[in-house]
Amino acid sequence: MNYLKINGGHGEGGGQIIRSAITLSCITKQPIHLENIRKNRKVVGLRPQHLSAIKIIQKITNAKVIGAEIGSTELKFIPGDVKSLDLIEDVGTAGSISLILQVLIPVVAISQKKLDLKIKGGTDVLWSPSIDYTQYVLREAYSRMGIKFSLELCKRGYYPKGGGEINLHVNSSSLKSISFTKRKTNSVKLICTFSKISIEKIKNEVKEIKQKLTKENFIVETEIKNEEAVDSGASILIYSIDEHSIIGIDALFDKKTQKFDLNIDEFIKNSVGIDGNLADMLVVTASLGHKKTIFRVKEISKHLETNLFVTSKITGCKYGIGKLTDGFEVIIEGVSNSSIK
């Protein structure tokens, strides 16, 4: 078997390498051999949420997998043919649904298949995009790049018990190469959801955040929703969308500090094309487009740098990074892989 070896300890050495490598393996039909998985993390190797993504994508692609065990630092993944399926899955506890969707959606859509998925797990958990970020920010960006999916939130699931549930539908897609260059809108949407936390506390937090945004001349539309969950918790999403930009920031409510763990200045000072987290999520899709995708970011994170390296190694796409006065411009020249029908 002709495996492409990927060093899972490269750069930031986290879960993004796993997700990107498996996604691209399925789309390009390239068997991969991941080594040193999550080498730079406190707890090395595969974690339950990685195994959940691998298990589900294995069903969708009829893949052969060697080394898919908790704590494994080595994985061999041999993709098969992608199928249209109707699935019901349970991640267990608060494993991140959003991170799993980052693998499933591109594979199914770009492979010209369809997926209907009911999945249980964590919708709003640490070190992961909230389900609202996936719904309102990632979905908008993917839509402009030709990837169409719809998401129905059935129940919130906070750490540690999870118990959230969503319904996902993915359509077959035709990729487009686009540009995200500069934010020109001052209109902002703020969505806050909570469960088993004082509504007065939540309202005060939202009011304080809104005041900071208003002071910087943003026009803010707020929405506060009490959505019952197994655990107490709350999450907040702030985002702006215009013709040339999609910028979002999300955070969870910290029960110790009784505050949202939110760096609002990060959103206020970002006037370029996309936020740093979204940049990570668009690299795989951009690498497979027909033309050049251009996006501008405030900074080049270790995550983004690592993802660009791994993606270029698997697809052969070319990329460049240029310094701007207010950030960086990333150009990715897609390869329009010949295995994609």
Q: Which residues are catalytic?
A: 303
Dihedral class, residue 83 (left if φ above 0, else alpha if ψ from -120 to 50, else beta): beta
DSSP characters over 210-256: HHHHHHTT-EEEEEEEE--BSS-EEEEEEEEEETTEEEEEEEEEETT
User: CA-CA distance, 54 to 100, in Å (whole number)?
Assistant: 9
Q: Cα separations (Å) of 323 from 207, 209, 326?
A: 36, 31, 8
User: CA-CA distance, 202 to 199, in Å (whole number)?
Assistant: 5
Alpha helix locations (H) across the chain?
A: 15-28, 48-61, 97-110, 131-133, 139-144, 199-215, 264-268, 276-287, 302-315
Q: Which residues neighbour 240 within 8 Å (Cβ) at sequence distance 6 or greater?
A: 183, 185, 186, 187, 188, 189, 218, 246, 247, 248
Give buried/exposed letters for 202-236 (b at 16+ CB in 10 A, else e).
beebbeebbeebeeeebebebebeebebbbebbbb
Helices and strands in the chain, H and E counts:
9, 17
End-to-end CA distance of the chain: 24
**Identity (one letter) of the amino acid at 163?**
G
| Pairing mode, strands 64-66 and 4-7 | unpaired
DSSP state of 274: B
